[in-house]
Amino acid sequence: MALLRELVAGMRDFLANAGAMSRFFARVLVISPSGFLRPRLIVDQVYNAGALSLAIIMTSGLFVGMVMGLQGHDLLARIGSEESLGIGAALTLLKELGPVVTALLFAGRAGTALASEIGLMRATDQLSAMEIMAVDPMRRVVLPRFLGGVISMPLLVAIFVAISIYGVQLIGVQYFGIDQGQFWSEMRSSVEIEDVREGLIKGFVFGVACSLIAVYEGYNADPTAEGVGRATTRTVVISAVSTLVLDYIVTAILL
């Protein structure tokens, strides 16, 4: 009985949370055009969310690509078509692995930074202070961070995929000796422009989701040290799960 009650309460919490986040999202969307009136703030946040994530994205991309090279070559060597490594790797990276891994890294690197920063502003009453000064913290704090994340994500995805394809090439061509021309020409002949578009659309969708979750959790954090910590944790968990769920939905729509 108690279990059932807990379950119902959990469901209600979940629904309340989803509803509050939707309302928050709507508010951000409504004021988002005004964000571009102050591009300075957005540039700062593109720096925080994007430029500072560059190192982790590029390193991870290179290694993901090299692993794909090793595993892909091993798999394809068993069926005797190593030349197809380029196609397989490029499509996997563009359509799935690139956007998803970038989003997970983004949630870990930029999402937590956003959530804890805004949460700390809440805990130290900076947001209330802004309201007293008639500065809307939604416009001044939340919106630029959201837009910065949304702008950064597709760019990060593109960088990740480009670097990881270089990593695949490094293993496939330099290490295993697949013919360079064959590698590139087979890849080019079967990768369509739609595949690139799919990757960038996913990057954009994940960017919206991860940035929204980060700013929402930070903005609504309990104004305590513990609350900020919890908000950061929740950001990573919710971002990761919703990225994977959204990935399925977007793939189903686009295919």
- Residues forming contacts to another protein in the complex (CB under 8 A) are 43-44, 46-47, 50-51, 54, 90, 94, 152, 154-156, 158-159, 161-163, 165, 184-185, 187-193, 195-196, 199-200
Integer Cα distance of 5 and 51 in angstroms:
47
Which of 54/170 has CB closer to another protein?
54
Which of 90/138 has CB closer to another protein?
90
The least CB distance from residue 229 to another protein, in Å, is 28
Which of 123/141 has CB closer to another protein?
141
The residue behind tokens 């946040």 is 45
Q: Is the dihedral of CA 182, 183, 184, 185 positive or negative?
A: positive
Integer Cα distance of 159 and 93 in angstroms:
11
Instruction: Print burial letters for 155-169: b (CB count within 10 Å at least 16), e (below 16).
Output: bbbbbbbebbbebbb
The least CB distance from residue 235 to another protein, in Å, is 22
Integer Cα distance of 148 and 40 in angstroms:
11
Which of 43/67 has CB closer to another protein?
43
The least CB distance from residue 153 to another protein, in Å, is 10
Angle at CA 201, nearest 5°, toward 200 and 205?
Answer: 115
The least CB distance from residue 48 to another protein, in Å, is 9
The least CB distance from residue 179 to another protein, in Å, is 14
Q: Exposed/middle/buried for 176, CB within 10 Å: 0-12, 13-18, 19+? A: middle
Which of 21/43 has CB closer to another protein?
43
